[in-house]
Amino acid sequence: MISLTLVDDNVFFRQVLKTHLSVCSDVQMMFDSANGQDLLNELADCAPSALPDIILLDLNMPVLDGRKTAKIIREKYPFIKIVMISLHFNKHVVSELLKCGVRGFIKKSIEAKELEVVINTVAHDQIYMGQGLFKSVPTFTFKKFFQERRSNHRWLGIF
């Protein structure tokens, strides 16, 4: 079972994702938050055994955005995997977020069946790039990322 937390300031979007994820047999929703600060407060109150495996994190939110939140999570909870959600990404943002430890990138226009693939891919220590995102990130970004970490991470890109 993969435990999951969802962070997005759009209440409707959170409800739609929670409804879809509630029927996934291998996913357990832990809680959801409206912004990064609410998430950090929730994580601080969790027992270590109750922390999520994966956080679906919106990039653009009020109070504490996804970029800053990802950096804090990486420092305090390095074992939690992060999937960043946004309406759009650019190569600079993706490069920066890879360095912050983000392991998945999906657009908010994602189809329901792809969401399950994303969660399972990231849960198995692979990097996931949503449809069309891989083409926007220069190959050297990945080479440099893996060389710096001497990492054996595998990635799955949907082209």
Q: Which residue has the higher pLDDT, 62 or 141?
A: 62
State which of 5-9, 23-27, 150-154 shows the largest mean pLDDT.
5-9
Asked whether the beta carbons of 4 and 54 are under 8 A apart, the reply is: yes
Helices (H), the chain: 11-22, 36-45, 66-76, 91-99, 112-123, 139-149
Closest CA to 107 of 73, 52, 64, 59: 59
Please give the helix or strand (H or E) that residue 127 lies within, else none.
strand 126-129
Give phi and psi for 121, each to the nearest 5: -65, -50
> Is 70 exceeded by the pLDDT of residue 143?
no
For the chain, list the domains and their CATH numbers: 2-157 (3.40.50.2300)
Residue 2, pLDDT score: 94
**Each residue's pLDDT tens digit, 76-129:** 999 999 999 988 777 777 878 888 888 988 888 888 788 888 898 899 988 888
Residues near 12 by beta carbon (within 8 Å), at least 6 away in sequence = none
Strands in 81-86's sheet, in edge-to-edge order, are 27-33, 2-7, 54-58, 81-86, 102-107, 126-129, 154-157
pTM for the structure as a whole: 0.82
Tokens of 95: 């490069």
Quote the mean pLDDT of the chain.
Answer: 82
